[in-house]
A and B are shown apart, each in its own frame.
Chain A
Amino acid sequence: MVICLNGLTQQYPEQGTLQALIEQHYGARPGMAVALNNEVIPASAWATTEVKPRDRIDVFQAVAGG
C-alpha cells in the first residue's frame, strides 16, 4: 500500500504498525514525535496503531533553536 511519510510517498506492507514503520526508518531514538493524519500519536500507542493506505505520517525531532 502507499503511504505518505514526511511528505514523501512510500510503499509499506499491509497491516504494519506505526511502531514498525518508525523503527524501520528512524531506529529507536529519544526526542521524537509522530503525527498520523495531523493527530499527534503518543509513543505508547505506536505499537497498537495500524498504518492504513494513504495515511499521512509526519515524524519530528528536537533540534537546536532559540
Chain B
Amino acid sequence: MLTIANRRFKSRLLTGTGKFGHHQTMLAALKASGTELVTLALRRLEPGERDVLFAPLSQAGYQLLPNTSGARTAAEAVQAARLAREAMGTHWLKLEIHPDPRWLMPDPVETLAAAEQLVREGFVVLPYVHADPVLCKRLEEVGCAAVMPLGSPIGSNQGLQSRVFLQIIIEQSQVPVIVDAGIGAPSDATLAMELGADAVLVNTAIASAQDPVAMARAFQDAVQAGRQAFEAGLAGQRLDASASSPLTDFLMEQQP
C-alpha cells in the first residue's frame, strides 16, 4: 500500500483532471483508472459559472490534491495554497512553481522556500520538482510528505528522460517518490514503477487519448504490473547471453 502522510492508498496511480474534453469523460476515466488521489487547480471565479468538478469529486470520495499552478514565486504559491485549502477543504497540496510557460520547468529555489513555509503552516506538501536528487533530499528534510520529480516536461509525453536521476532519487528517498510529468504511455508508467517509484501521476496521456476511459484502465494495469515486477525483484542485466534451455549435444549424438 502507498502511504502518504499516514493516509493509505490502494492505488499507486494519481491522476490529473485537466485537458479532458468533457467533465463526464473525466469522471468516467478517473473511475476506470482506480485512482484515489486527484489533482485540481484554482482559478478566478466568473459570475454565473457552475461547479461541475469539485462537488462530484468530493462526493466520490477522492483525496483532492490542489496544485499551485500559475504561481511564479514562493509568495504566490503560499497564497495559492491558502486559497486552495479554503476552497477545497484539504491541507494536501501539490506545490508547483514554474515561472516560464514555455517549458514549465519548476523553480527549485522558490519551491524549497515555499515548501518550508507551507510545512510550518501545517500543509501536507508534495512538491513538483526537476529530477534533482539533492533538491529532493532538501525537500524531504524540510518536511515534505513526498517528492514529485518529473520524467520530462509537463504534457510532453516524452517519458522518463530523467531516468538515471529518478533512480538516484528513489534509491535515497525516505519519503514516497511520485514520478510526475511526461509519462506519455502505460509503458512509461510501468518503467517508473519497475524502477521503484512509489506512484506515478498521469494527466495528459489519459485526458488526450482517443479513448480516455480505456487509456485510464490501461494505465491502471501498467502501474500494477510495474509494481508487481518491482516487488518480485527484477533479474539483473548482462551483456553476454545466458542460455535458458539446456545446451546438450544430443543432435550430434543422433548422427550415425
Contact = CB atoms under 8 A, between A and B. Distances in A.
A65 B88 CA distance: 14
Interface residues of B, number: 40
A61 B69 contact: no
Interface stretch (A11-19, A35-43, A48-56): A35-43
Contacts of A25: 47
Nearest to A7: B44
Nearest to A22: B45
Interface string A6-30: 1100000000000000000111011
Nearest to B43: A63
B45 A66 contact: no
Contact of A65 (B16, B50, B87): B16
A65 B17 contact: yes
A2 to B, nearest CB: 18
Contact of A59 (B39, B44, B55): B44
B4 interface: no
Interface in B97-138: none
Q: Is the interface of B mostly helix, strand, loop or mixed?
A: mixed
B44 A58 contact: yes
Contacts of B253: none
A62 B203 contact: no
Contacts of B87: 31-33, 60-62
Contacts of A6: 44-45
B69 to A, nearest CB: 6
Interface of A: 6-7, 25-27, 29-35, 38, 40, 42-43, 58-66
6 tightest A-B CB contacts, nearest first: A65-B41, A66-B16, A31-B54, A66-B203, A33-B87, A33-B86
Given A40-B86, A62-B64, A64-B19, 18 more contacts: A6-B44, A29-B50, A31-B87, A60-B87, A61-B51, A62-B41, A62-B66, A62-B88, A63-B40, A64-B16, A64-B23, A65-B39, A65-B41, A65-B42, A65-B67, A66-B17, A66-B41, A66-B67
